[in-house]
Amino acid sequence: MSYLLKEGFAGLKRTKWASMTSIFSLFLALVLLGIFARLATNIYDRAVSLKESVELEVFLFEVDSATVAGLENQLEMLDEVESTSFISKDSAAAIMRAEFGSGVEDLVALDFLPASFKVELSSEVPYERIDELASEMEQWIGVENVQFNASLVQMLEKNLEIMVKVGSWLGFLVLLAAILLVFNTIRLTVYARRDVIKAMKLVGATDRFIRAPFVIEGVLQGLIAGSMSVVSLYVLFDRVFPSIAPQLGVLAWPFGRWYYMVSAVFVLAVFMGWIGSRWAAGTFIRKTKI
């Protein structure tokens, strides 16, 4: 093990410039992914919050209290419904006065405002299902009509879908580019030591044993790049971005805690170093003939 570790560290020195290029590329990819992940998470959370604020308004005919209770029970039995609130005619008039002032007293006196239910749905309910629910509710006894902001729901769903797809592809391409750089660096190292590898094979060394120092070298590159990216992300989000745009200082961390993203970036760096080096070393060592 001491030999493998020593060879792994020595590999960084042998291909100094190639290793530095690989580490910097990994570092840059991770910083970009970290910035993108935090911004995208906040945008996604905001869009979901907006969708959660979309409510169905179920307007009623003139019905008695027993019918109102029955309708409320029907609404609460639906799996998609998170909560319901009943707004009587008097409450609707009070809301109108609060929103438009005393100048609407003549309108309120006409007693045209219907009683209604405000229905909050789960944010996972797609637009098609919301539309189906609205149509079903309009068939219930006592229900005059059902309204909701269809255009807002459709826009949010479409934009969220596009954002997830584009973000996934961008993240994948950045990761792939970084892994390929590690791959090329380790390939150069293996090629430079091809004579040593042949000699080790002649004395009975297995491919796994020969590959281990190169994999350790790749993991070390990941560790260095991960440490640099974690520090850089902290400085960027805690110092640089707030000084440029103060509103960026209040961005939430993914899952609500800073250490989730920091840990993910660090683990991802090590994984990228490991997979790139293992791929390169395994491929070229197998091709090296005695």
Mean pLDDT of 224-229: 89
Tell me how far CA of residue 257 lies from CA of 8, 53, 81, 224, 243, in angstroms.
Answer: 34, 25, 30, 23, 22
Integer Cα distance of 225 and 263 in angstroms: 13
Integer Cα distance of 229 and 218 in angstroms: 16
Q: Which token pair is 181?
A: 């750089």
Is 60 exceeded by the pLDDT of residue 108? no
Non-local CB neighbours of 201 within 8 Å, separated by 6+ positions: 210, 288, 290
Percent of the chain with pLDDT over 70: 82
CATH architecture of 55-148: 2-Layer Sandwich (3.30)
0.85 surpassed by pTM:
no
Is 60 exceeded by the pLDDT of residue 109? no
Cβ(67)–Cβ(141) under 8 Å? yes
Between 233 and 99, where is the model more confident?
A: 233
Cβ(183)–Cβ(276) under 8 Å? yes
Q: Which of 119, 31, 113, 110 is nearest to 83 (CA)?
A: 119
In this structure, which amino acid lies at residue 95?
A: I
What pLDDT is recorded for position 133? 84
What pLDDT is recorded for position 99? 63
| φ and ψ at residue 56, rounded to 5 degrees | -90, 135
Is 60 exceeded by the pLDDT of residue 67? yes
DSSP 248: G
**In b/e form, how buried is each residue of 35-59, taking b as 16+ CB within 10 angstroms?**
eebbebbbebeebeeebeebbbbbb
Cβ(34)–Cβ(233) under 8 Å? yes
Mean pLDDT of 206-220: 81
Is 80 exceeded by the pLDDT of residue 173? yes
Outline which parts of the chain fall under CATH 3.30.70.3040. 55-148
